[in-house]
Amino acid sequence: MPELFQPVPNRSPVRRKGFRISWGFLLIGLLLLFAGGYLGFRVFLKNYLHSDAFLAQINRATSRALKVSGGFEPIHWQDSQASSPLFSATGETGAPIRAINARGIEAQLNFRSIWDGIWEITELSVDEANIDLGEHAANPTIQRLPARETAPAQPASRNFLTSFLPKKTELKLVKIESANLTFPLPGDASSPGEIARAQRLRINARPLGEEFSDGHQLSGYGGEIYLPEGQRLSLLDFDTRWRDGTLFISNAVADLKDTVGARVQCSGRLDSTGRDSALKMHLSGIDIEEIVAADWKQRITGLVESDVTVRIQDGITTYNGDASLSGGVLNALPILDNLADFTKHDTFRRLPLNKATAKFTREGDTTHFSGILIESSGTMRVTGSLDVVDGNANGTLFVGVVPGVLRWIPGAEQKVFTRLDDGHLWAEMHVHGPLQALEEDLSPQLVTGAIVQTIEAVPERAIDAGGKVILQGTSILREGVRSGLDLIDGFVPFLGN
């Protein structure tokens, strides 16, 4: 009986040892499985990156971002760096890019971001890019290649590893070493914008927002801009943002080629549709010889500075601004030598312009000059306003001279320049007619004044000796007025009228 109640041996230590051994094998198995899965995924990923499916995905992502249809030549990989010899595409309807081809493309892929479900390209560099912007005829000076067709989407693989592939693509930075662009300048309903070119620009582009929702930050420096009229600008630097078909310019600075110190600085926005654009420009150091008509290039010197606001709204372009001339000098004019001889004032031979300013507005064929002020200290001053409509001028100018300057012309100070104000004797002059043949009424006033003054002073010599003085003096002033109006005619084309 006692044997029946013998205690059963405790087997729990054996079970606990077996339990520990089982978990150890399980852990090792999991590690091996993970390592195998990781290596297998690496092999799968490498094969996928070399596949047509990946090329098609990258082409679709790039085309969607740029709103174009095209793609890359086959991609070659070395570790995490990819390269392609060419990307070419054509723009979709209404897209800002009309055509693009880029050569020498390299991209750096961040493999760590794949585990976050993102294809992250940290930097994409391009040796050369040729880009047509806007709706216009292709520029024959830029070589173009047929756009590469985007490969169709490949059927999804049955391999479950495809579910681990990223569904998003992020591009951090694009660097273009040399960009050549053609783009339309702002125009209006009556005068569509002409085509300008830019060559050898260095551009950095940073996409903004998820899936480029906030556009692109574009900055860079270097290169040249060629305007339709023949001017060349040497681009110093620019900082812009592109979003929803509008280029927002924070700052852009360029020097005018073949000049010393001429510079253009601008900010504002350019709408690719031409419906609503606005630019603020500051021009400085521009030699007036670059502006006036050819026959004035040796007659006037000085540097022009101007602030201009250009607004394009619903096809209508308006200009508002002011202009000034610093260091201005009138010389090499026969009128000045004749006037110096006649008035006994040698200061007329070389006439410094201490002040020369005006405000202007322009819309279509109409230009309005206001606040005109031209002054040569100690000699003369001109103020007033002028309208130019379709090449025809109409306005009122007030001519002031320092007392005594015109004393050699009979009746000038007694009958015509009669209002004394601010140290000058003033006469009113009306101008009208075509810019190439302007008429003025100051000369007739001088003739009448000279005759009346001569008759009053020396009645018996009014037609004899006095007549010679009258004709000589008034003809000199008429020539002076004519020269001034010619200068206006030479300046107006600067505004594009």
pLDDT in tens, 143-155: 444 444 444 444 4
pLDDT in tens, 6-50: 555 555 554 554 445 566 556 665 665 555 555 555 666 677 777
- The label of the residue with tokens 């002033």 reads 477
Confidence band of 360 (pLDDT split at 50, 70, 90) = very high
What's the pLDDT score for residue 147? 45
Name the pTM for this structure.
Answer: 0.73
What's the pLDDT score for residue 53? 81
Confidence band of 249 (pLDDT split at 50, 70, 90) = very high
What's the pLDDT score for residue 118? 82
Chain centroid to Cα 266, Å, comes to 6
What's the pLDDT score for residue 334? 65
pLDDT in tens, 172-204: 888 999 999 987 776 555 555 678 889 999 999
Reference 343, options 486, 477, 442, 478; nearest CA is 477
Q: Are 245 and 219 in contact (CB under 8 A)?
A: no
- Mean pLDDT, rounded, of the chain: 76
Query: Bigger pLDDT: 68 or 307?
Result: 307
Average pLDDT over residues 373-390: 88
What's the pLDDT score for residue 150? 46
Q: Maximum distance among all alpha carbons in the chain?
A: 179
Length in residues, the chain:
497
pLDDT in tens, 198-218: 999 999 988 887 666 677 888
Confidence band of 413 (pLDDT split at 50, 70, 90) = confident
**The Cα angle at residue 166 between residues 163 and 170, in degrees rounded to 5:** 170
pLDDT surpasses 60 at 384 = yes
Radius of gyration of the chain (CA): 39
